[in-house]
Amino acid sequence: MTADIHDIADQRPHLMVVASDGAHVIPHALVQSVVAGEKPSTILTEPVVRRIIEEWIERVTA
């Protein structure tokens, strides 16, 4: 298994998403851009999107 690793230390805050394909650290601004429609949702992997939705559902139904 290979992965692209990027230094995002200057892009704080981050979100940590533990998806089925591993742990991902994603800049908060990137997720906000996807939500706002400024970037396509395809920039996030399918497992990441599924995990974000799963966690959201857990919070709104708790």
- Whether residue 56 is contained in a domain is answered as yes
- Whether residue 55 is contained in a domain is answered as yes
- Whether residue 3 is contained in a domain is answered as no
- Whether residue 45 is contained in a domain is answered as yes
- Whether residue 30 is contained in a domain is answered as yes
Structural domain span for residue 55: 14-61
Kindly list the averaged pLDDT for each block of 10 residues, start to end, along the chain of length 62: 71 88 91 96 95 94 86
Evaluate whether 51 touches 26 at the Cβ level (below 8 Å). no
Output the pLDDT for position 1.
Answer: 57
pTM of the model: 0.75
Tokens of 42: 């395809």
- Whether residue 1 is contained in a domain is answered as no
Domain count, the chain: 1
- Whether residue 18 is contained in a domain is answered as yes
Give the rounded percent of residues in the chain with a pLDDT score beyond 70. Answer: 92
Residue type, 4: D
Cα separation, 34 vs 30, whole angstroms:
6
